[in-house]
Chain A
């Protein structure tokens, strides 16, 4: 395939700098992705030319701001293949999406003795809200375990769905394991067992063509703008209209109301029923630009190029002495995020991240907000490298060379 990586790199101004005198090698994309010039410019242009409050005024600026804000919604709708703009709720991020569903649907539907099902590999943001709901409602939080090769244990899933499952919450791609979960099969099982299905697509959205029609019987899908080259403080919650209509608001205030009386009020149309207060307008203008940017690159092509990076990354890491990977083997097949987490014998992840930073390499060290998984694996912390479509194969070579040096330095 042809992928002009140096041309793509040039789209990201932040990459063109030195850290401690060394060229920046940014390998922390799973934490947050950099912004292309197109997104930065769209936000700056909006702030300089079009800012006003949305859905409020008759005046020209307000109309312009509203068009840009709602225009971003339509772009997201097409990007994920949603049925209508009404099904695309703007949030602050994936975490808010989870909390919204927990508060607006979970509190009304989960009862004492019910089961809430999550996967062992969930990010804290798709784990703690459900744990809190389980405690509040005296429901049971049931955790689907992984097999030794770190893929889903189907027997454990069956067991977890055998009681009174009300909802199953799962990440589409774990932020540390990286493989695409067989979501259609899992959702079908959960749905058959009577559970609603919530999908956290925060990682997946940046690496795959995400089409709702291919995910099976999924009820909600949430993701964040900043993992897909958009601004922080932007996120999407998708659900079908009928379901969103059944859900009560979870935040009250301006913009989410239709009529306010002395003693009671009625709610605005979808999706604004869930968007109380003045939203992050400039953020969503940037989000719209990010969707345009990724669509122009083509998510199929992004995924294909990232696959070559992932294969090289795994092959090179396997050659590092004392390195242990904590990812499902690539030989299992299936789609991946271009990331790996590992431990290096004799070198603590924080020391390794510090050492790599001195060489200009940005990686993440720690528990990566997946304490339930790392505790189960018996690893207090790992180092994670997460790539993107602007990374070059030579950056992997440089990383691996520095891993060897770090080992000699500390161990």
Chain B
């Protein structure tokens, strides 16, 4: 495969695309917060299901349909943020936006798998695919305070 393409579709990304983590409805019923993000331009749709008991992302699942970048970004995000306090999750969303928009460089030494998405920056039209789960999470967490 071409080097050009491998910069985008890193093994971690293809792995999360083929085998998405935290995929499907979150069990737990009434206190699950659901929020949908949709990009009408490309049809990508991400539904987040969150359990925010104790001010943390106790549960963080997703489902929907979209390209491999969008779906793997959602999978990587849920893995990255599950269990974290809401404030930390919001900071992580901002940090990921900074990474995608090029205002912070990729952290080569980081062990966080989400850093694999840094390659998307070379493909400007795909940045919105990677961002959709994260902006959807931000909306959901802000909606929680101002329903």
Q: Does chain A bind chain B?
A: yes
Chain A residues in contact with chain B, CB under 8 A?
A: 20-21, 348-351, 354-355, 358-359, 366-367, 380-381, 409-411
- Nearest CB in chain A: distance from B70 CB, A: 8
- Nearest CB in chain B: distance from A391 CB, A: 23
The residue that B43 contacts in the complex, of A354, A355, A366, A410, with Cβ under 8 A, is A366
Q: Say if the beta carbon of B17 comes within 8 Å of chain A.
A: yes
- Nearest CB in chain A: distance from B108 CB, A: 24
Q: Decide: B41 and A366 in contact? CB cutoff 8 A.
A: yes
How far apart are the CA atoms of A20 and B8 in the complex, in Å? 14
The residue that A351 contacts in the complex, of B41, B43, B65, B69, with Cβ under 8 A, is B69
With both beta carbons as reference points, the residue of chain A lying nearest to B71 in the complex is identified as A348
Given contacts A366-B43, A367-B43, A410-B14, contact A350 B1 (CB under 8 A): no
B2 neighbours in A (Cβ, 8 Å):
20-21, 358-359
B8 neighbours in A (Cβ, 8 Å):
354
A20 neighbours in B (Cβ, 8 Å):
2, 4
How far apart are the CA atoms of A349 and B126 in the complex, in Å? 13
Q: Which of B8, B18, B42, B65 has the most CB of A within 10 A?
A: B42
Q: Decide: B123 and A354 in contact? CB cutoff 8 A.
A: yes
Given contacts A366-B42, A410-B17, contact A354 B66 (CB under 8 A): no
Q: Decide: A409 and B42 in contact? CB cutoff 8 A.
A: no
Give me 30 A-to-B residue pairs in the complex whose CB atoms sit less than 8 angstroms apart, sorted by A's number. A20-B2, A20-B4, A21-B2, A348-B66, A348-B67, A348-B68, A349-B67, A350-B42, A350-B69, A350-B126, A351-B9, A351-B67, A351-B68, A354-B8, A354-B126, A355-B5, A358-B1, A358-B2, A366-B41, A366-B43, A367-B43, A380-B43, A380-B45, A381-B42, A381-B43, A409-B1, A409-B9, A409-B14, A410-B14, A410-B18
Q: Decide: B43 and A358 in contact? CB cutoff 8 A.
A: no
Q: Say if the beta carbon of B81 comes within 8 Å of chain A.
A: no
Name the interface size band of chain B.
20 to 34
A410 neighbours in B (Cβ, 8 Å):
14, 17-18, 68
Q: Say if the beta carbon of B129 comes within 8 Å of chain A.
A: yes
Q: Decide: A358 and B67 in contact? CB cutoff 8 A.
A: no
> Which B residues between 1 and 32 are near A, CB-CB below 8 angstroms?
1-2, 4-5, 8-9, 14, 17-18
How far apart are the CA atoms of A381 and B43 in the complex, in Å? 7
A367 neighbours in B (Cβ, 8 Å):
42-43
How far apart are the CA atoms of A410 and B5 in the complex, in Å? 12
A358 neighbours in B (Cβ, 8 Å):
1-2, 4-5
How far apart are the CA atoms of A351 and B65 in the complex, in Å? 13
B65 neighbours in A (Cβ, 8 Å):
380
B123 neighbours in A (Cβ, 8 Å):
354
- Nearest CB in chain A: distance from B124 CB, A: 12
Chain B 51-68, CB-CB to A under 8 Å as 1, else 0, gives 000000000000001111
B4 neighbours in A (Cβ, 8 Å):
20, 358
How far apart are the CA atoms of A181 and B66 in the complex, in Å? 32
With both beta carbons as reference points, the residue of chain B lying nearest to A375 in the complex is identified as B43
> Which B residues between 54 and 99 are near A, CB-CB below 8 angstroms?
65-69
- Nearest CB in chain A: distance from B62 CB, A: 16
Q: Which of B2, B5, B9, B67 has the most CB of A within 10 A?
A: B67
Q: Which of B17, B68, B129 has the most CB of A within 10 A?
A: B68
